[in-house]
Structure 1
Amino acid sequence: MAEAIHADVAVIGGGVIGLGIAHEARRLGRSVALIDPAPATGATFAAAGMLAPVSELHYQEEDLLGLMLESSKLWPSFAGGLRQAVEATGYRTTPTLAVGADAADRRALADLRTVQLAAGLGVEPLSVRTAREREPLLSPQISCAFEIPADHQVDPRKLAGCLMAGLAAHSPGADTWVGGARDGFAVADSAHGLLWDGRRVAGVELGSGKSVLAGETVVANGLGAPALAGLPEGLELPVRPVYGDILRLRVPAHLRPLLTATVRGMVRGVPVYIVPRDDGTVVIGATQREDGLSATSNAVSAGGVYQLLRDAQVLVPAVAELELLEATARARPGTPDNAPLLGRVAEPDGYLAGLIVATGFFRHGVLLTPVAARIVGELLTGSPDSRWSIFRPDRFSASRGQPWPMEVPTGAHQ
């Protein structure tokens, strides 16, 4: 066999989910090989970082709501558990304001609040006057405002940097980093497919021909997951690319702070958000399209940029005076039910040993990072929480074994 690298856990994918899982594996004392040719340059690079379980509630996604709320509760300890100060991640617990532009938007937000209240979520109405006292640059023409205390934010780029720095801080003798040639770690490489030893997954074959041999392999490479060679027969991972355009702008000194809280708005029925950062910039997003425009180039949609700037100015007219720094588009991995593919793969007589799947996080990847890391950590230690088996990765695979047992086969968490 070609040159091999040995680790307790191989994590395929260096987005925020993969980085969070690698961080948790290190916290549990496992050695880790993180496999990604360019960590944190995909959807993580574009994400706004809203931690918004309440705002992100959608019809018929009640199971996903439970996962989002659980992860939201984990965020303070997750951010506090990094080597850097919490402030280094851009984690902020200021509440979110939801605002509507016109009467139709007011009715739509009122209907959404009814659903949110029915789910036991806290959403407090504010008068327009009170909202503008808090955020003076809001348009006086907005039709309504609600405060959402539970919805917060983090800066995904800073978060990814903190996670990578923490992983790199461990001795190269104890860990191997495959990808992102930083701090003397191995050169970047890609995952070609899974390696097998009998009926268990034994590691990863790399694009270079080298191998990573591991007791556990975690597939966390988003849209790349279905293309891995050697996936279990009959396992379907139905992820599709959902593209989003997102803007970053600098606020001139005389307008700072443009906002102190995240503003999520509805403008003529179309959602838009403005997220303030501590460095004097704001993030405006995000479109959602499945047109394939960015399939090979991450191309930004001109119409998307126009729509975002137009709608953001309806809510905060001073947006017109900001400096446009960056327009970015990335694909997010969507699933048929918008929920992640997360857990072990079932066999007729138990679990497939050595393999964990963590993909399909769609628009919730940053929010769900702590709970995904926790769930994978519990699987690594043989103590899974049965609440999350509803997100099993083989739930769309008609030919895979059922039922879904909670026992882990001997050797599956070495």
Structure 2
Amino acid sequence: MNDGIPATADLVVIGAGVVGLACAFRAIEAGLSVVVLEQGAVGTGASGVAAGMLSPALEVEDSEPALIAFARDSMARYPGFVAAVEAAAGLACGYRSEGSLWLALDRDDHLLLERLYAIQREAGLSTRLLPAPETRQREPNITPRTVAGLFAPDDHQVDPRRLVPALAAAIRRRGGNVVERAADARVLIDSGRAGGVAWADRRIAAGAVLLAAGSYSNALLPAGCAALPLRPVKGQTVRLRGPRVIDHVVRTPRVYLVPREDGEIVIGATMEELGFDARATVWAVHDLLAEARRAVPSIDELAIAELPVGFRPALRDGLPAIGAYGPAGLFVATGHYRHGILLAVATADLMLTLLTGARDERLAAFDPHRFAAKSGAGHGDRAERHGHDGRRSAAG
């Protein structure tokens, strides 16, 4: 079939979200031939719902040290990564670096901000507590009831709905293939090795296969390969459109508002343990808008443009699974939970290290085999504790 899809590739990636595409792009930069398969359209999974906050400052309060270090490393790599993608694709990724503003709207919020500030300063982050007048000066449209603020200048953002198409375009322009609507893809095992991928009436022989399909990754594992303790955590968001009312990411302990260059605001997000329930519900929209209006009353005049729902891939210990898994030649990159956009760059660089046969000491923390060595909850159920009651959280 003469459709430009090769019969062989050095790497086949299943999953065209930000993690899979970032891994594919880094592999192409290194000179590997790459084919990416996506069961639907590019960016229609969790990446298309994500707000795109790049906020290591958020992670220091309640995360494993390995994850904090990984997040900060990925953040440091982001500007160069975006520049490379934009140059290769000829498209902008919506990268912004103006920082984020955390609001305290009452005494309890203020105490929480002070505690968070102390943790962040101890971690070496350059956050700054602000009195109410300076907080309102930075964002005039926030509520006059603001009692204090915390400014995080090192928090950035990227627009996943621009980054993901730019990655796909960059891969194609660099000679790779991104195949959409490749439903029912399956890993081919030859003599105990992952030797390629088949879907529909097509097949590709591959030197390596990477599963990066988020919450759906277990369904792609070949027979005899133990399922990862992976589950979807539902996230509902609200997208508003209208005149620009804020310039920074604005957060409270209960909600975030992420402004886009075109006037869109992303409000989020719930964390619900409801499987793959894709409904946008009244309680979630009501709660998100009520908390957003409490922080920025002027959003009242904006229009509701969309009510997206996505599924964060969560593993039992809250850390991603990145590495070789199962038969030789098979790799996984999944379980990034709330941090897929932030961790995509470091994940891609770590995966390239694996694919080229090098070693990295960070692999131990994210080894997909780590769960087989533990029984029960053992290592703690950090991801399961977050949002277990299905209520709102300001997490991404």
Fold agreement, TM-score > 0.5: yes
C-alpha contact 2:168 2:178 (8 A) present in aligned 1: no
- Aligned position for 1:230: 222
Q: Equivalents in 2 of 1:142, 1:229: separation in Å? A: 50
C-alpha contact 2:106 2:146 (8 A) present in aligned 1: yes
Counterpart selection for 1:198 from 178, 191, 201 = 191
CA RMSD of aligned residues (A): 2.1
The reply on whether 1:243 has 2:246 as its aligned counterpart is no
- Aligned position for 1:111: 115
Distance 1:147 1:218, change over 3 A: same
Q: Percent sequence identity over matched residues?
A: 37
The reply on whether 1:265 has 2:257 as its aligned counterpart is no
Q: Equivalents in 2 of 1:136, 1:210: separation in Å? A: 57
Q: Structure 1: where are the runs of 5+ without partners?
A: 180-187, 347-351, 401-414
The reply on whether 1:52 has 2:27 as its aligned counterpart is no
C-alpha contact 2:42 2:165 (8 A) present in aligned 1: no
State the number of aligned residues. Answer: 369
The reply on whether 1:213 has 2:205 as its aligned counterpart is yes
The reply on whether 1:189 has 2:189 as its aligned counterpart is no
Distance 1:86 1:242, change over 3 A: farther
- Aligned position for 2:318: 338
Q: Which aligned pairs between 1:234-383 and structure 2 lie closer than 5 A?
A: 235-252=226-243, 256=244, 258-266=245-253, 271-292=254-275, 294-295=276-277, 298-345=278-325, 352-383=327-358
* 1:345-375 Cα distance to aligned partner (Å, 9 max, x none): 38xxxxx531211001111001111111101
The reply on whether 1:131 has 2:114 as its aligned counterpart is no
Out of 371-380 and 110-119, give the one that drifted further.
Answer: 110-119
* One-letter amino acid of the structure 1 residue matched with residue 282 of structure 2: A
User: 1:272 deviation in Å?
Assistant: 0.5
Q: Structure 2: where are the runs of 5+ without partners?
A: 376-396
* One-letter amino acid of the structure 2 residue matched with residue 230 of structure 1: P
Q: Equivalents in 2 of 1:231, 1:143: separation in Å? A: 57
Out of 387-396 and 154-163, give the one that drifted further.
Answer: 387-396
User: 1:387 deviation in Å?
Assistant: 2.2
User: 1:251 deviation in Å?
Assistant: 2.5
- Aligned position for 1:148: 152
* One-letter amino acid of the structure 1 residue matched with residue 12 of structure 2: A
Distance 1:86 1:105, change over 3 A: farther
- Aligned position for 1:176: 177
User: 1:56 deviation in Å?
Assistant: 3.1
Distance 1:372 1:232, change over 3 A: farther
Q: Equivalents in 2 of 1:384, 1:86: separation in Å? A: 33
* 1:18-70 Cα distance to aligned partner (Å, 9 max, x none): 11111111111111111112221010110100001112334242221111000
Query: Greater helix percent: which structure?
Result: 2
Q: Equivalents in 2 of 1:8, 1:397: separation in Å? A: 29
C-alpha contact 1:341 1:357 (8 A) present in aligned 2: yes
C-alpha contact 2:86 2:93 (8 A) present in aligned 1: no
Q: Equivalents in 1 of 2:128, 2:363: separation in Å? A: 30
C-alpha contact 1:339 1:360 (8 A) present in aligned 2: yes
* One-letter amino acid of the structure 2 residue matched with residue 334 of structure 1: A
Distance 1:154 1:4, change over 3 A: closer
Q: Equivalents in 2 of 1:191, 1:370: separation in Å? A: 27
User: 1:86 deviation in Å?
Assistant: 9.0
Distance 1:36 1:143, change over 3 A: same
The reply on whether 1:71 has 2:74 as its aligned counterpart is yes
* One-letter amino acid of the structure 1 residue matched with residue 288 of structure 2: L
* One-letter amino acid of the structure 1 residue matched with residue 117 of structure 2: R
